[in-house]
Amino acid sequence: MCLTLQRSDKERRIWPRLPLAIPVFVRSRDEKGKDFLEFATALNISASGVLVAVRRSLPLSARILLEIPSAPLAATAKLPKASRSLRAKCVRVTHAEGYHLVGLKFSRPLLEEEANHRPSGRKVASVRVKKFSLASASLEA
């Protein structure tokens, strides 16, 4: 899969979107000010935001805490540090039958700013992930 930063004139996004279905918890307050926690699905994600399918409608500009669940191993193993709780603001809501598509903008991009200044047409790779080659990996049976 090759991701590029080429954009049309109508496209305003700086970061490419990845079409990944990721289970998430959405934590916020309803219109009456009562805290709620809802299980939802992130449908695509970029360094600056995420599109989430939720059952509850959220008002525009609602403050959200998006929590990504992880297996207990991640908390105890010496794995690279990764974001699991992301602060965001609701910037778009599309109502559908039985669910709502909510566009959230992260309070801070997940990647450094210099990563978005790559020449167009080049692959976008994770800033902190080492490249892996199947040619160099040995398969053990």
Tell me: the pLDDT tens digits for 98-115?
A: 999 999 999 998 887 644
Please indicate, yes or no, if residue 6 is contained in any of the structural domains: no
- 8 A C-beta contact, residue 131 and residue 125: yes
Please indicate, yes or no, if residue 94 is contained in any of the structural domains: yes
Please indicate, yes or no, if residue 36 is contained in any of the structural domains: yes
pLDDT value for 113: 60
CATH number reported for the structural domain that contains residue 59 in this entry: 2.40.10.220
Output the pTM of the full model: 0.66
pLDDT band at residue 76 using 50, 70 and 90 as cut-offs: low
Least Cα distance to 47 among 17, 81, 86, 92 occurs for: 17
Instruction: Using the predicted structure, report yes or no on whether residue 1 has a pLDDT greater than 70.
Output: no
Beta-carbon contacts of residue 108 (< 8 Å; ≥ 6 apart): 87
Please indicate, yes or no, if residue 38 is contained in any of the structural domains: yes
Please indicate, yes or no, if residue 53 is contained in any of the structural domains: yes
Domain count, the chain: 1
Q: Mean pLDDT of all residues in the chain?
A: 76
